Amino acid sequence: MTIQWFPGHMTKARRQIEAKLKLIDIVIELLDARIPISSRNPMIDEILSGKRRLVLLNKADLADPGITEEWVRFFADEGLQALPVDASSGMNVQQIFALSREILQDRLEAQRRKGMRPRAIRALIVGIPNVGKSTLINRLAGRSAAATGDRPGVTKGQQWIKVGHDMELLDTPGILWPKFEDQEVGLRLAATGAIKEEILNVDDVAFYAVKQLLQHYPDALRERYQVEYGEVDLDNPHEIVELMEAIGRRRGCLMSGGAIDLEKASLVILRDLRSGRLGRISLDRP
Ligand code: G4P
């Protein structure tokens, strides 16, 4: 679901998260592994104000593994532990428990020293829409526990969900808005499906995606669509559009007169990109 984020919604979303922060020990910040910076809320450090944090690079199954490793190092340099996960399959999800304990180790130690039995770690998942918050909650809870509440301003009774043997999650995740100011960020969000491409022009999003693919994954389009192309001049939009048309021709994206339907071709390319059929692709690079 796409949210129109107006300033009022952002303020409300922020307040809701700030209210929840009081209840929890650790924030699980969910980012899209293909676009860890573009899928990050621009005010996140300010909003979380020093709360302990574990960064998850979700949808790692769709991201370029080498680039994801670079991101893990990037976050480590920022002082943040980052773990690539795939919430749909559960890859690495069990590591969240141990890493959270590690991040809170000093506190758990202090409780033990005082003779207190450490209580369950309380966590909140935050992230922009579509990044996989509900999928992760369901995966961690091992059942269909999460109510998708992608509506800023809708408050629900909160509940703790027990996950693992020593963690509790707030059942409603914190929903954050992405960056909007930067056009390239918008294109990356749209290309990966974080925002509906209808907000932008479908052709523009696909054009951007094709250009990125040619630059960083030059064989991806050739392999998927069996189109032949030599050296494409990335600064020449005509050459990129011609390639998109060639893909459209290959896929039978034709209008009634027989002309190529570029919009249809664009949708084919974007669908394939998002589902991983063009390979494991990262659009943000450290
Ligand atoms: P949200 O609560 O943060 O809004 O996200 P949600 O869990 O609803 O997940 C959004 C989409 O992303 C879902 O696809 C979900 O299956 C997919 N997804 C979540 N985690 C992963 C992952 O690690 N890998 C992959 N490949 N996909 C993941 P969907 O139900 O098909 O929705 P849509 O594609 O129609 O948007």
Q: What is the ipTM of this complex?
A: 0.96
Average pLDDT over residues 113-119: 88
For the purposes of burial, counting CB atoms within 10 Å of the CB of 85, is it exposed (0-12), middle (13-18) or buried (19 or more)?
A: buried
Check pLDDT > 70 for residue 154. no
pLDDT for res 123: 97
Of the chain, the end-to-end C-alpha distance in Å amounts to 29
CA of 39 to the centre of ligand 1 (A): 14
CB 105 within 8 A of CB 83: no
Pick the residue whose CA is nearest to atom 24 on ligand 1.
59
Confidence grade of residue 186 (pLDDT, cut at 50, 70, 90): very high
Confidence grade of residue 152 (pLDDT, cut at 50, 70, 90): very low
Confidence grade of residue 156 (pLDDT, cut at 50, 70, 90): low
Counting ligand 1 atoms within 8 A of each CB, the residue from 30, 41, 88 with the most, and so the one to mutate, is: 88
Average pLDDT over residues 125-144: 90
Pick the residue whose CA is nearest to atom 17 on ligand 1.
132
pLDDT for res 144: 47
State if residue 172 touches ligand 1 by the CB under 6 angstroms criterion: no
pLDDT for res 272: 98
Average pLDDT over residues 126-149: 81
Check pLDDT > 60 for residue 150. no
Angstrom distance (rounded) from CA 131 to CA 37: 13
Angstrom distance (rounded) from CA 31 to CA 133: 10
Pick the residue whose CA is nearest to atom 12 on ligand 1.
132
State if residue 90 touches ligand 1 by the CB under 6 angstroms criterion: no
Confidence grade of residue 222 (pLDDT, cut at 50, 70, 90): very high
| Mean pLDDT over the full length of the chain | 92
Least confident window among 5-9, 183-187, 263-267: 5-9
- pTM (2 d.p.): 0.93
